[in-house]
Copies of this chain bind each other. A is one copy, B any other.
Amino acid sequence: MKLQNIKIVMVGTTHPGNIGAAARAMNNMCLSHLTLVDPQCPIGETAYARASGANAILDNRETCSELVPAIADCSLVIATSARRRSLPWPELSPAELADKLVSMDDSSRVALVFGREHSGLLNEEIQLCNQMVCIPTNPEFSSLNLASAIQVLCYEIFSRQNDTPPTGKQPDAHDLPAPSSEVEGYFEHLEKVLLSIGYLDQEQPGMIMQRLRRLYLRSELTRNEINILRGMLTAIEKVKH
């Protein structure tokens, strides 16, 4: 895949220095697309000083108030996290992530999502992601600086990209992972139908939907598969009426 199709998404960042340092780290590793979701600080002198010349990345940043629109065009959304979750999400090492990206199609768009300095990503944010990447660290001192985590992942991706020759064949677009917006459209449809047939409890749709999300996000649904799955939902709705 193309490095310029990978976006770094920083959610709720509070220190402008981390945003500047992230821009520098990205530029060092040939990434250029920075998206800030609900930033909690101004992007001014401090950020530009730490960017150390990577000004274009800061100038061209995209800003969103929420994660959903930030990743809408991405067919692979990767959450980064140090914390272990009660409901485990499929987890990659940085090297496995880099291998995965190398093998992806040139037109694919990917988001790497980084959470808040102190509290990381919310569970509902993680549940928008296909997979999670976890940087191995000292279990006694595991909290990486935010920009350092971005540096490590960008480095892994760049260095892997760099030692792999590009391959040729392009699969049909409908057999590639669908963008997040289409996958979310499927989840909405699925929840509606499962409520209507009484499989989900109106009061408590949560845990079952979480597990279904995890299953389908892990699978990286293609457009063709979403069409089939939504066709099934429509057939169920017809039987019901």
Contact = CB atoms under 8 A, between A and B. Distances in A.
How many A residues are at the interface, by size bracket?
A: 35 or more
30 contacts: A21-B145, A21-B148, A24-B148, A28-B137, A28-B138, A28-B143, A28-B148, A29-B137, A30-B138, A53-B141, A88-B171, A93-B159, A136-B155, A136-B159, A147-B148, A148-B151, A151-B151, A152-B152, A194-B235, A197-B235, A197-B236, A197-B238, A198-B238, A198-B239, A212-B228, A215-B219, A215-B225, A236-B236, A236-B239, A239-B239
Interface of A: 21, 24-25, 27-30, 52-54, 88, 93-95, 135-138, 141-145, 147-148, 151-152, 155, 158-159, 162, 171, 175, 194, 197-199, 208, 211-212, 215-216, 218-219, 221, 224-225, 228, 231-232, 235-236, 238-240
Determine which residue in A88, A137, A162, A212 has the highest number of CB atoms from chain B within 10 A of its CB, and name it.
Answer: A137
B199 A231 contact: yes
B135 A155 contact: yes
Given A143-B52, A152-B152, A215-B219, A194 B137 contact: no
Contacts of A198: 235, 238-239
A209 to B, nearest CB: 10
A212 B199 CA distance: 21
B232 A194 contact: yes
> Per DSSP, are chain A's interface residues mostly helix, strand or loop, or mixed?
helix
Contacts of A148: 21, 24-25, 28, 147-148, 151
A182 B162 CA distance: 38
A54 B208 CA distance: 42
Given A28-B141, A136-B159, A137-B158, 18 more contacts: A28-B137, A28-B142, A28-B143, A29-B137, A52-B145, A54-B141, A94-B159, A147-B148, A151-B152, A155-B155, A194-B232, A197-B236, A197-B239, A199-B232, A208-B228, A212-B225, A218-B219, A236-B236
A88 B137 contact: no
Nearest to A235: B199
Contacts of A224: 211
A225 B212 CA distance: 7
Nearest to A3: B138
A200 B42 CA distance: 56
A194 to B, nearest CB: 7
